[in-house]
Amino acid sequence: MSDDRLLSPRNPWFTGSVGITVILLAATALGGFVLLPYAQPDLKLAGIWDAICSAAGVPKASSAADPVQPESKLTRVVVTSALPSAADPEAVGRGATLAQQCAICHGPTGVSRADSPNLAGQYAPAVYKQLADFKAGVRVNATMTPFAVNLSERDMADLSAYYAFLPRLPGFHPASDKPPPRIVINGAPLRNIAPCGSCHGVLDNKTGSPWLEGQPAAYVKAQLQAFASGARRNDISQQMRNVARRMTSEEIDQAAEWYASQPSTRVHTQ
């Protein structure tokens, strides 16, 4: 049989194979460029052309006019050495007056025996950042949000200066002779988890990160779980969320219990 006869439209095998190939290509294109995009519940499409563009990786024409918005508010605090840190006497005095409203949860001397964080001796940039995030709605709490929303920039700076000025009084910390857990001292390099002390150390602290020694275990555990679940999102560049997601429940418990067992002695770093 000659090539002319083999590729002739009169050859039923040739026309059949071409027809099947065309049908397969059409079905594949229909499934890949139309059906699959529509099968994604979180993908909003204006029509078939949007579906085809999405499957082909071509940006929609409206994407430039409608930028993607984050699912939640992002922190507006820029962590630099310019954050409040110095113990200005006037600021401390004004902060002491404002802090009377905080005593019911954080204690009259900044030391809480409940599940609220201890603020006495806390780094001023850490206090300022959290107040600013509560005020902006980046971090939400039924008690803190109504209080922080009415604070001025000066109020937040004064409160930060006051709590940083207070000595870290020892709260209720059960005696513990257990060695520090590995997650605190060494982290978990294979899971890309840095040691807790690399940011939350007492002598070497990352600006904006709070000290954790002596904090209530219930509070530390609740915050780690909130970061892990995404309920709390005011960490810069998702640093805490990335760490907490990779921690096991046992490691979260170990870190919380160990920090709670450490005496919150005052260390001057400012």
**What is the average per-residue pLDDT within 56-72?**
56
Greater confidence (12 vs 149) lies with 149
pLDDT tens column, 82-122: 666 657 889 999 999 999 999 999 999 999 877 899 999 99
pLDDT digits (tens, 9 = 90+) for 163-210: 999 998 765 566 667 788 999 999 999 999 999 988 987 666 788 899
Report H helices in the chain.
Answer: 3-6, 12-30, 36-39, 48-56, 89-98, 103-106, 124-136, 144-148, 153-165, 182-185, 197-200, 217-229, 239-246, 249-261
Pick from 204, 212, 202: nearest CA to 267: 202
Give one DSSP letter per residue of 164-215, joined into a string. HHS-----------PPPPHHHHT-BGGGTB--THHHH-SSSB-TTPPP-TT-
CATH class as words, domain 89-261: mainly alpha
- As annotated, the residues of the chain forming the CATH 1.10.760.10 domain(s) are 89-261
The more confident residue out of 36 and 158 is: 158
Q: What is the dihedral of CA 2, 6, 7, 8, to 10 degrees?
A: 90
